[in-house]
Structures are given as structure tokens and as C-alpha cells.
Amino acid sequence: MNVVLLGPPGAGKGTQAKTLAEQSGLVHVSSGDLFRAALREGTELGMRAKGYMDKGELVPDEVVIDMILERISQPDCAGGVIFDGFPRTVEQAKALEAALLRHQQRVDRVIYMSVPGEVLLKRIAGRRTCKSCGAVFNVYYFPPKTADGCDVCGGELYQRSDDTEETARNRLEVYFQQTTPLIDYYRGQGTLNEVDGEQEISVVTDAMVAALGLPSKA
């Protein structure tokens, strides 16, 4: 099964994708995480993406598409993927479809996480990520138990450089202009499920598990 998580920055796609991947055995593929890893490693891909990410703009389609297609061609992805942050344009969605079709696969389910605009900025500004294990917290909604440490592994927490208010505003603007057309695109294909992403994390997870027809954990 291949699943796309669709929704604005700050909707909680990364948090939910991690849980769903653990619960389903599908592989979590996050385009943002892949770019951040490339940046850390100082690769050419990271250098190409940096300027766009710093401004909160989309990295050009061909760069993202090449990166994702390369990632999903690896053997661990053969059993299915949870896509987080990809596709973000109709062009990317079409490229993904074509690539999956070559392996007699498709995007089976799209989960659109809707969250009102005014909540998103606070969610983005409050987000803190663990440097070691990637766990995500939020100082307003889901604070770590110790001030600056990760509850999972004790690692140091940091704020993403593109989570500052100015860049976050631009990312939201870009989302509404370039990514929201995907909602109708997937609705037209009959694969879209909408989940209210403003609810508590565990309630959102339960709704997603139900939408995907996964066995419930309880």
C-alpha cells in the first residue's frame, strides 16, 4: 500500500507518519527530511535545495522528483511507502503516479489533514525536533517533559531554521497556492480521506488508522 499524507506545514504530517509507519510496516519517506539530511551532509543536492528551503519556497519539481524516485527504488520501499511532504504539486503527483505504475503500483490512499490557518503558525513556531532521533515536540501543544531534552532518547532539541515566523508565513502562502490543487486532484481520483488534524495527536492517529483500514492498536 502506498499512502500520501497531504496537508499544510504544521498539520502534523511528520508526527503521524512516524507512528503510522511503526504500526503498518510501511516505510516513511519525507522529502523535507531527505533535504535536511542532504544539507547536513553537504551534498550537491543539499546545496541546490538550501536557498529554496531558507526562503520557504518549493525546491524545483525535477530536483524533488529525482530524489524521491531514487529513494523509492530502494528495496526497503517495495512493500509500500508513507509519503510525507511529497507530492506538493500536481506535476509531482503525476510523476509519482507514472513511477509507481511501472511497478504495477499506485497511490492507494491520500489522507488530507486539515488544520485552520491560525493554528498552523503557532504549531510551526512551537515545533522542536530531536537532533539524535528526529522525535518532534511542540512547546505549546506537546511539550517535552524536560526543558530542552528529548523524552525518547535524551538528545538535544532544536528549532528548524525555516520555522521562524517570516519563513513559516511564506511556506503557508506557498502551500495554499501550489499544493492545495492536489486536494481536488486526489478527490477526483476517489482516493482522498479528510481527517481533522486539529484534534489531539492520538485521536488523529486513530482516525488515520481507520481510514487506512489498519488493525487498531488498542
Residues that bind ligand AMP (CB under 6 A): 9, 31-32, 35, 52-53, 56-59, 64, 85-88, 92, 162, 171
The one catalytic residue in 18, 48, 160, 169 is 160
- Tell me if residue 106 is catalytic: no
- Tell me if residue 128 is catalytic: no
In 3D space, the residue among 1, 3, 5 whose CA is nearest the CA of residue 112 turns out to be 5
Whole-number minimum distance, CB 72 to ligand AMP, in Å? Answer: 13
Closer to ligand AMP by CB, 87 or 147: give it.
87
Which cell numbers hold the place of 172?
503557508
Contact 112, 207 (CB under 8 A): no
Whole-number minimum distance, CB 110 to ligand AMP, in Å? Answer: 14
Whole-number minimum distance, CB 138 to ligand AMP, in Å? Answer: 15
- What's the CA gap between 58 and 20, in Å, rounded? 26
Place of cell 499506485: 106
Closer to ligand AMP by CB, 87 or 150: give it.
87
Closer to ligand AMP by CB, 40 or 206: give it.
40
- Tell me if residue 13 is catalytic: yes
Q: Residue of minimal CB distance from ligand AMP?
A: 32
The one catalytic residue in 36, 71, 123, 127 is 127
- What's the CA gap between 109 and 63, in Å, rounded? 25
Closer to ligand AMP by CB, 134 or 144: give it.
134
Whole-number minimum distance, CB 67 to ligand AMP, in Å? Answer: 9
Sign of the CA dihedral running 38, 88, 29, 195: positive
Cβ neighbours of 169 (radius 10 Å): 14
- In terms of phi and psi (left: phi > 0; alpha: psi -120 to 50; beta: otherwise), the region of 28 is beta
Which distant-in-sequence residues (6+ apart) come within 8 Å of 218 by Cβ? none
Whole-number minimum distance, CB 137 to ligand AMP, in Å? Answer: 16
The one catalytic residue in 88, 109, 123, 128 is 88
Examine residue 75 and say whether the peptide bond preceding it is cis (omega within 30 degrees of 0): no
Sign of the CA dihedral running 61, 84, 137, 203: positive
Closer to ligand AMP by CB, 114 or 206: give it.
114
Contact 3, 21 (CB under 8 A): no
Q: Indicate which residues carry an active-site annotation.
A: 13, 88, 127, 160, 171
